[in-house]
């Protein structure tokens, strides 16, 4: 077995490397790693520190919160700020409202988007491709264009100050979710539903007993995104809800900020209270969510 | 026997007709959404933009007057400049930052899931709570950022949201804090690049630099394209920060287009004018989307197109 001459030369070159070359090469590798970890740690510090500062500030008495330089760990942690601030506005009510809207919308969005996506992925019906093109083009439309007519629409229906304007549109799907789910459904082999069809199953059965159970990761991603979006939604509630007992956490917090704007510990405490549900959900759903990004996001 | 008759009778509808009906029943939610809440609302939005109206007391037809006035409106031009400035900085910087983090995390680092969590958590929290947090972070006297800047020896740090020059950069920093979402997308993209490509290149003698520019980046361009498109569309619609943190100030230095639209409509009750602003915003977003899509033909690489 003989190698071509130029490869022989290369092998010799490798074998013939002196110790200091190996050392230099190793050193470069290790220093590269060190730099990578240093950059990562510095970046992580910068990304995490606003959260830590927020937590620290919320647990400080007023007098220490404005101290320069920052006192990171106060001599005594003051948890009562949370209790006192919570009572300044009906926050419990805001939470109930937000949880209600969010849950209802997650169900609505998952249900409607999957039904529509299923039809676009599986059923051959007249005009399907044209309709799908229209759906894609609506993804670009900024919601501000339809904001004012929809506001007028809901005013005419006397639905301002109810949750209907925040719920109904999501029960009627959202183009982005339909798009993601369709992409996912297309990756499921059609052989199974062909077999089911031969056995006499209707589309609804194929949807509910084959496609849906096989799409849990993608449905999970949609549910999590719907959760975060609804929890954080600001412009919708700002426009449609104008009585305090109907408020969501987002606009309740805004109201709190306008009333207590000069009190840093209080506004920080209530901001944390508003963030915690999202952080918890994403912390526990992390693996699921990242898996979903791999499935649905890349081919986007 | 009635049962026999059923067996003999041909189905009322052919398979194709049944599929047509089933298809439309399944897409019905979206059809209603599209006809009423999108197409219907768009037409109506355009009609409103040709009127002067507070939506309550009446409608007065003014034709294209609203559009003519918008172009003469100094606040509109200001909001256009502010939003463009924000978008053109936050989008490329966001792509660069998210890509850098993803590239480092893709180097087989230890504790990957820990780093990933730290970087992506800020991106999932959004809205009012984050705006309030950042309005304190950027506070010139008591804020975290200036405390940090003073600690590294900068004596007179910027006044951020209180300064016409530094308010938008403050927003941009807040935007970059949320780069973790895009980072996840890039990381997934990087992990999807088949390793044989790298192995083949290495055998051919390509060094790290070449492998990065000739394999990693081209293979990632579809992800970059998708992410850039989405963030451009999102950045033009920036609202919550401006509404909560600055109210558009100081001296309209953070008057974004959607904030101006909101103000004209829901505060000054000039819904016709606000609708005209919405259409101009739509037009701008459309132009930029088309430009990006057009340009993508020369820089986005799709595997399927290799042999063309």
- Structural domain harbouring A191: 82-297
Across B110-125, average pLDDT: 89
Q: Are residues A125 and B278, on separate chains, in Cβ contact within 8 Å?
A: no
- What confidence score (pLDDT) does residue A15 get? 56
Query: Per the domain annotation, does A218 fall within a domain?
Result: yes
Give the nearest partner residue to A145 out of B42, B243, B271, using CB atoms.
B42
Contacts of A128 in chain B (CB under 8 A): 23
Show which of residues 94-153 on chain A sit within 8 Å of chain B, judged by CB atoms. 112, 115-116, 118-120, 123-126, 128, 131, 134-135, 138, 140-153
- What confidence score (pLDDT) does residue A65 get? 83
A248, A101 contact by CB (below 8 A): yes
A3 touches B at CB < 8 Å? no
Q: Beta B51-53 vs B59-61: how paired, if at all? A: antiparallel
Pick the more confident residue, B34 or A12.
B34
Separation in Å, CA of B72 to nearest CA in chain A: 21
Q: How far apart are CA A251 and CA A238, in angstroms?
A: 6
Across A217-227, average pLDDT: 88
Which DSSP symbol is given to A18?
Answer: -
Q: Which of A149, A194, A283 to mutate to test the interface with B (most CBs of B within 10 A)?
A: A149
Mean of the per-residue pLDDT values of chain B: 89
- What confidence score (pLDDT) does residue B173 get? 95
Q: What is the pTM of this model?
A: 0.87
Q: How confident is the model at residue A183 (pLDDT cuts 50, 70, 90)?
A: confident
Lowest mean pLDDT among A40-49, A162-171, B15-24, B293-302: B293-302
Query: Per the domain annotation, does A146 fall within a domain?
Result: yes
ipTM, 2 dp:
0.84
Q: Which of A29, A47, A140, A291 to mutate to test the interface with B (most CBs of B within 10 A)?
A: A47
Helices B112-124/B74-105 angle, 10° precision = 170
Query: Per the domain annotation, does A21 fall within a domain?
Result: yes
Q: What percent of chain B has pLDDT over 70?
A: 94
Query: Per the domain annotation, does B258 fall within a domain?
Result: yes
Q: Does the structure show a pLDDT above 90 at A249?
A: yes
Lowest mean pLDDT among A199-208, A290-299, B17-26, B234-243: A290-299
Q: What percent of chain B has pLDDT over 90?
A: 58
Tokens coding B283: 């037009």
Residue A22 and residue A130 in one domain: no
Separation in Å, CA of A145 to nearest CA in chain B: 5
Q: How far apart are CA B154 and CA A21, in angstroms?
A: 43
- What confidence score (pLDDT) does residue A76 get? 84
A-B CB pairs within 8 A amount to 244
A50 touches B at CB < 8 Å? yes
Residue A77: CB partners within 8 Å, gap ≥ 6?
A: A59
Query: Per the domain annotation, does A213 fall within a domain?
Result: yes
Helices A264-284/A249-259 angle, 10° precision = 160
Show which of residues 8-37 on chain A sit within 8 Å of chain B, judged by CB atoms. 33, 36-37
Query: Per the domain annotation, does A63 fall within a domain?
Result: no
Residue A122 and residue A39 in one domain: no
Give the nearest partner residue to B34 out of A51, A134, A286, using CB atoms.
A134
Q: How far apart are CA A115 and CA B23, in angstroms?
A: 10
Q: Which of A114, A137, A145 to mutate to test the interface with B (most CBs of B within 10 A)?
A: A145
Helices B180-191/B217-236 angle, 10° precision = 160
Residue A47 and residue A105 in one domain: no
Query: Per the domain annotation, does A198 fall within a domain?
Result: yes
Number of domains in chain B: 1
Residue A217 and residue A125 in one domain: yes
Q: Does the structure show a pLDDT above 80 at B5?
A: no
CA distances from A58 to A22, A88, A288, B137, B220 (A): 54, 16, 31, 13, 42
Separation in Å, CA of A181 to nearest CA in chain B: 13
- Three-class SS string for chain B? CHHHHHHHCCCCCCHHHHHHHHHHHHCHHHHHHHHHHHHHHHHHHHHHHCEEECCCCCEEECCCHHHHHHHHCHHHHHHHHHHHHHHHHHHHHHHHHHHHHHHHHCCCCCCHHHHHHHHHHHHHCCCHHHHHHHHHHCCCCCCHHHHHHHHCCCCCCCCHHHCCCCHHHHHHHHHHHCCHHHHHHHHHHHHCCCHHHHHHHHHCCCCHHHHHHHHHHHHHHHHHHHHHHHHHHHHHCCCHHHHHHHCCCCCCCCCCHHHHHHHHHHHCCCHHHHHHHHHHHHHHHHHHHHHHHHHHHHHCCCHHHCCC
Q: Are residues B119 and A44, on separate chains, in Cβ contact within 8 Å?
A: yes
Contacts of A57 in chain B (CB under 8 A): 136
CA-nearest residue to A54 within chain B is: B133
Residue A131 and residue A24 in one domain: no
A194, A188 contact by CB (below 8 A): no
Query: Per the domain annotation, does B19 fall within a domain?
Result: no
- Structural domain harbouring B181: 79-305
Phi, psi of A139 (to 5 degrees): -65, -25
- Which CATH number covers residue A188? 1.10.3720.10
Query: Per the domain annotation, does A73 fall within a domain?
Result: no
Show which of residues 266-285 on chain A sit within 8 Å of chain B, judged by CB atoms. 267-268, 271-272, 274-275, 278-279, 282-283
Q: How far apart are CA A224 and CA A296, in angstroms?
A: 13
Residue A136 and residue A272 in one domain: yes
Tokens coding A273: 């209270």
Among candidate residues B225, B235, B262, the one with its CA nearest the CA of residue B84: B235
Contacts of A211 in chain B (CB under 8 A): none
Which DSSP symbol is given to A210?
Answer: I
Separation in Å, CA of B165 to nearest CA in chain A: 23
Give the nearest partner residue to B33 out of A48, A172, A274, using CB atoms.
A172
Query: Per the domain annotation, does B262 fall within a domain?
Result: yes
Strongest mean pLDDT among A19-33, A77-91, B86-100, B205-219: B86-100
Determine which helix (DSSP H) or strand (DSSP E) holds A99, and give its type and residue range. Answer: helix A91-122
Q: Does the structure show a pLDDT above 60 at A241?
A: yes
Query: Per the domain annotation, does A267 fall within a domain?
Result: yes
Q: Are residues A70 and B137, on separate chains, in Cβ contact within 8 Å?
A: no
Pick the more confident residue, B78 or A29.
B78
pLDDT in tens, B245-273: 999 889 999 999 999 999 999 999 999 99
Residue A170 and residue A222 in one domain: yes
Residue A51 and residue A194 in one domain: no
- Which CATH number covers residue B169? 1.10.3720.10
């Amino acid at each position: 077995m003989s190698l071509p001459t130029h490869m022989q030369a290369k092998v010799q070159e490798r074998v013939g490397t002196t110790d200091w070359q190996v050392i230099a090469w190793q050193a470069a590798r290790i220093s590269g790693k060190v730099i990578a970890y240093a950059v990562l740690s510095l970046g992580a510090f910068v990304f995490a520190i606003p959260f830590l500062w927020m937590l620290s500030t919320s647990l400080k008495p007023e007098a220490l919160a404005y101290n320069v330089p920052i006192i990171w760990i106060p001599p005594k942690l003051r948890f009562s700020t949370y209790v006192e601030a919570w009572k300044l506005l009906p926050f419990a009510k805001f939470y109930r409202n937000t949880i209600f809207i969010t849950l209802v919308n997650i169900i609505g969005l998952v249900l409607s988007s999957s039904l529509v996506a299923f039809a676009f992925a599986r059923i051959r019906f007249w005009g399907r491709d044209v309709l799908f093109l229209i759906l894609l083009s609506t993804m670009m439309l900024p919601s501000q264009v339809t904001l004012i007519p929809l506001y007028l629409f809901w005013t005419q229906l006397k639905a301002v100050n109810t949750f209907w304007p925040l719920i109904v549109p999501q029960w009627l799907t959202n183009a982005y979710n339909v798009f993601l789910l369709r992409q996912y459904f297309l990756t499921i082999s059609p052989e199974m539903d062909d077999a089911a069809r031969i056995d006499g199953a209707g589309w609804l059965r194929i949807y509910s007993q084959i496609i849906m159970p096989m799409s849990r990761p993608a449905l999970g991603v949609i549910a999590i995104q719907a959760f975060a979006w609804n929890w954080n939604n600001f412009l919708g509630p700002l426009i449609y809800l104008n009585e305090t007992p109907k408020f969501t956490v987002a606009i309740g917090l805004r109201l709190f900020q306008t009333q207590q704007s000069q009190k840093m510990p209080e506004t920080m405490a209530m901001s944390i209270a508003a963030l915690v549900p999202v952080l918890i959900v994403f912390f526990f759903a992390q693996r699921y969510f990242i898996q979903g990004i791999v499935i649905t996001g890349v081919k986007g | 026997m009635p049962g026999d008759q059923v067996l003999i009778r041909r189905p009322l509808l052919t398979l194709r007709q049944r599929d047509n009906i089933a298809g439309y029943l399944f897409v019905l939610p979206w059809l209603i959404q599209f006809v009423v809440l999108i197409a219907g609302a768009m037409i109506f939005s355009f009609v409103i933009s040709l009127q002067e109206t507070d939506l309550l007391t009446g409608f007065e037809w003014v034709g294209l007057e609203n559009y003519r006035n918008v172009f003469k409106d100094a606040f509109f031009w200001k909001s256009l400049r502010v939003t463009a400035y924000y978008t053109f900085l936050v989008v490329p910087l966001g792509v660069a930052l998210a890509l850098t983090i993803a590239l480092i995390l893709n180097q087989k680092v230890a504790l990957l899931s820990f780093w990933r969590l730290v970087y992506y958590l800020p991106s999932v929290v959004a809205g009012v709570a984050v705006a309030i947090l950042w309005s304190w972070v950027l506070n010139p006297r008591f804020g975290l950022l200036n405390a940090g800047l003073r600690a590294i020896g900068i004596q007179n740090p910027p006044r951020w949201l209180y300064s016409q020059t530094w308010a938008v950069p403050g927003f941009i920093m807040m935007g970059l804090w949320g780069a973790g979402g895009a980072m996840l997308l890039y990381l997934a993209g990087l992990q999807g690049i088949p390793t044989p490509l790298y192995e083949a290149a290495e055998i051919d003698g390509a060094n790290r630099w070449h492998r990065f520019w000739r394999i990693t980046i081209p293979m990632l361009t579809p992800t970059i394209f998708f992410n850039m498109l989405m963030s451009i569309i999102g950045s033009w619609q920036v609202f919550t920060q401006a509404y909560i943190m600055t109210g558009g100030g100081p001296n309209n230095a953070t008057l974004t287009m959607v904030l101006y639209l909101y103000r004209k409509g829901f505060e000054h009750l000039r819904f016709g004018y606000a609708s005209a602003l919405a259409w101009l915003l739509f037009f701008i977003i459309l132009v930029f989307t088309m430009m990006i899509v057009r340009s993508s033909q020369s820089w986005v690489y799709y595997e399927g197109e290799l042999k063309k």
